[in-house]
Amino acid sequence: MSYIAKSPWVIHYDGSSCNGCDIEVLACLTPMYDVERFGIINTGNPKHADVFLVTGSVNEQNKEVVKQIYEQMPEPKVVVAVGICACSGGVFKQCYNILGGVDTVIPVDVYVPGCAARPEAIIDGVVKGLAVLQEKRDNMVKGIDAPAEEPEAAAEEEKTEEGGEN
C-alpha cells in the first residue's frame, strides 16, 4: 500500500500565463472546490512537492526556472500542464520568444486544456496525475528507472469551444 496518491502536495508555477489559469488554480483552494479534501496542499516549496502545476507557455527566459523547479522536486513527481498555453503554446505559440508548451522543456504527464482551464478540469487533471504518481512510485520500488518518457496524454477534454483557436 502506497500513500503517495493520498497526499499530493502541489507547487504552482506561472510560465508566461495571462493569469487566467493561475486564478483558476487558486480557485481550487477556495471553499467552493476545496482540494484539501484529497489531501492536496499548495506548497511554495519544490522540495516538498509531488505535483508540479505549470500554467502558461515556456519562454526563453523562464525555461531554466522551470527546469530547476522540476529538478529540485524529489521523485516520484508528476507534471501537470494547466491551460492550452502550457499544453501547446496556445495563442502565443508564434511569438519569437516562446518555446511552446511545457513539454518542450520537461516531461509532462497530464495535459489539461482550456482557456482558462476550469477548476473542475484542474482537479480532474491532478487526480489523473495521481495514477501516474502511483505508477512511478511502483516503478521506483521495483527499481526500474523512470519509464522512457511517453506521457500518457490523459487530456480530459473540457468542452473546448473557447480553447480551439490555435
Partner 1 sequence: MIIKMIISIIAYLILAPFVGGILAGLDRKVSARMQGRVGPSILQPFYDVLKLFEKEPITVTKVQDFYVMIFVIFVIASGVIFFAGGDLLLVIFVLTVASAFLIIAAYSSNSPYAQVGAERELLQMMAYEPMVLMTCIGFYMYCGSFAVRDIIVGTSMPFLPLIGIFIGFLFILTIKFRKSPFDLSMSHHAHQELVKGLTTEFSGKTLGLIEISHWYENVMLLGFVFLFFANGTVWGAIIGVLVCIVTYFFEVLIDNSFARMKWQFAFKSAWIVALVFGVINIFVLYLIV
By CB under 8 A, the count of residues binding partner 1 is 27
Per CB under 8 A, 68 contacts partner 1: no
**Locate cell 529538478: which residue?**
71
x-or-dash string of contact with partner 1, 16-55, rule CB under 8 A: -------------x-x--x-xxxx-xxxxx-xx-x-----
Per CB under 8 A, 67 contacts partner 1: no
CA-CA-CA-CA dihedral for 56, 12, 157, 85, to nearest 10: 0
* Nearest Cα residue to 13 out of 37, 49, 38: 49
For the bound state, the minimum distance from the C-beta of residue 118 to partner 1, rounded and expressed in Å, comes to 19
For the bound state, the minimum distance from the C-beta of residue 52 to partner 1, rounded and expressed in Å, comes to 14
- Nearer of residues 128 and 136 to partner 1, judged by Cβ: 136
What's 129's DSSP letter?
H
- Nearer of residues 10 and 98 to partner 1, judged by Cβ: 10
- In the chain the beta strands, taken as DSSP E runs, fall at 9-14, 41-42, 51-55, 58-59, 78-82, 98-100, 110-112
For the bound state, the minimum distance from the C-beta of residue 11 to partner 1, rounded and expressed in Å, comes to 10
Query: For partner 1, which residue of 137, 139, 154, 156 counts as binding (CB under 8 A)?
Result: 137
Query: For partner 1, which residue of 60, 64, 75, 152 counts as binding (CB under 8 A)?
Result: 75
CA-CA-CA-CA dihedral for 162, 40, 108, 44, to nearest 10: 100
Report d(CA 13, CA 15) in Å as an integer: 6
Helix (H) or strand (E) holding 67: helix 63-72
In the region spanning residues 77 to 136, those forming contacts with partner 1, defined by CB under 8 A, are none
Chain residues in the site for partner 1 (CB under 8 A): 2-4, 6-7, 9, 29, 31, 34, 36-39, 41-45, 47-48, 50, 72, 74-76, 137, 140
